[in-house]
Chains A and B, each alone.
Chain A
Amino acid sequence: MDTNLIWLIVIVLGAAILFRGLRAGLQKRYPFFYCYIECLLLIEVLRFLCLSLTPTLYGAFYWQTELVRIIGSYAVIFEIFKRALRHNPGVARIAQQLLLVVFVVAFSYAASDLLHGGSGSVPRATADLGRYLLYVEGAVLFVMLWLFGHYRISFGGNLLGLTVGYSFVVALDVVNLAFLSTPGNESSIGLRKFIPITHLLTFIIWCASLWSSQPDPVPPAESAIDRDYTILAAKTKAALAHLSTRVERTLRS
């Protein structure tokens, strides 16, 4: 399929997501995500205008807008974090600390690599900065996904679609930019062709999952849960210890 046609479909899907978000009242629930979609659409339109009017400036303009897009996508991470853990204050606290550590470590590593890399031109430096910010984002997203899985955090259909689509696009963008930055790497040329398809698939996921408002998981009643972790951990520990003793006794008899 023609690349321009794919990008056109992506833009149409983006507009559909915005329209449906407005109709279903999802824009109020996920304001940062919808701002990000608006930002993406605006960037696509500006890129198209730049390519038509001043093609010589397109290279530099592309990487500058790419940097803006990557910085904007951090808002989506924040949105996912805020919405997913709003009923889990303890996990949110752990996640905040863990994510801060990951961010500082990844950012320091990326910054030192960027400073020692000696990027020749301004567009190249912008592209490198965008790439490193994307790596940091990937690391933060990975830790977040691990925490969600570990603590079996419940997701509503809308937030799940948003998270899965976002993870998909970040994972493939990270690989793509990494290959692209490797000089003389032939596979980056092939991968480049997949970018529009990746974005198309992501927009399809978002469009399907955010077409209508789906209920969020209901938090348990205060009386039905124990907020004291020490008691819960002690109970589980005792149950496991009791089990080990009984299994051992059974197998040794």
Chain B
Amino acid sequence: MSGLIPIVLLSTLILIFSGRLLVQWSRQSHAQVVTIEDYTEARAALDSVFAETAAIKRIFATDDMEFVSQEGVGDVQRFFLKERKRLAIQWVRMTQKQVAHLMDLHLKLASYTYEPSPRAEVKLTVTYLCFILASNGVLILLWLFGPFEAVRVVAYTVRAAEYFCSEVTRRLENIDPVRLGSARQPRSV
């Protein structure tokens, strides 16, 4: 009976992927042929997400929050937090959408190339998946704690990761290879 599980799984995957093909077709049916110009436009659109850098930084800046906390009443504070949270989530979602569009165009254009490299494709896919994972993590943090606390958590996580990496590198540099040598020797019987 356990031998049936992979077969049922295979069958289900065939059905899912053929369904995906249908969905893809229904989305593509009105679309034009993808060209390198579309790709350049998508890259420009992705850059434009950061065009108003000062405005984006303002969303996460704590100065306004401190001012509102000192001057404003409870309702104003709540409204301010709600607005900033909405803006921050909108910004992350827009970035996600632009990146997804860029990857979509990349894959379409890659299919026209003469020699796509599976290794490079896997690396790009991993990078993209990491971005999706991280951006969704940020979205959850934004949703749970709001933009100001979320930024603090992100900054703390990044700092902790950096500290961890530098610490591991330092320790690796300090390891004496001569002392490791004995461990590699075969044990005497």
Contact = CB atoms under 8 A, between A and B. Distances in A.
A141 B10 CA distance: 10
B116 A146 contact: no
A189 interface: no
| SS class, residues of chain B in contact with chain A | helix
A29 interface: no
Contact of B154 (A89, A141, A237, A251): A251
B146 to A, nearest CB: 14
Contacts of A233: 106, 110, 117, 120-121, 124
Contacts of B20: 145, 149
B118 to A, nearest CB: 6
B85 to A, nearest CB: 15
Interface in A90-117: 90-91, 93-94
A33 to B, nearest CB: 16
A240 B108 contact: no
A243 interface: yes
Contacts of B115: 90, 93, 229
Interface in A101-153: 135, 138-139, 141-142, 145-146, 148-153
| SS class, residues of chain A in contact with chain B | helix
A229 B110 contact: yes
A156 B35 CA distance: 19
A239 B46 contact: yes
Interface string A228-242: 111011011101101
B22 A160 contact: yes
B28 A154 contact: yes
Contacts of A244: 131
B131 A243 contact: yes
Interface string A46-70: 0000000000000000000000000
B113 A226 contact: yes
Classify chain B: how many residues form its interface, as a range: 35 or more
Interface of B: 1, 3-4, 7-8, 10-15, 17-18, 20-22, 24-25, 28, 33-37, 39, 43, 46-47, 50, 53, 56-57, 60-61, 95, 99, 102-104, 106-118, 120-121, 123-124, 127-128, 131, 135, 138, 151, 154-155, 158
25 contacts: A90-B111, A90-B115, A91-B111, A138-B10, A142-B13, A145-B18, A154-B28, A174-B10, A175-B7, A182-B1, A182-B3, A217-B33, A218-B33, A226-B36, A229-B113, A229-B117, A230-B117, A233-B117, A233-B121, A236-B106, A242-B47, A243-B95, A248-B158, A250-B50, A251-B151
Given A152-B111, A253-B61, 5 more contacts: A90-B113, A167-B18, A226-B113, A233-B121, A251-B155
The 7 closest A-B pairs by CB, nearest first: A167-B18, A224-B35, A145-B17, A229-B113, A151-B111, A171-B14, A178-B7
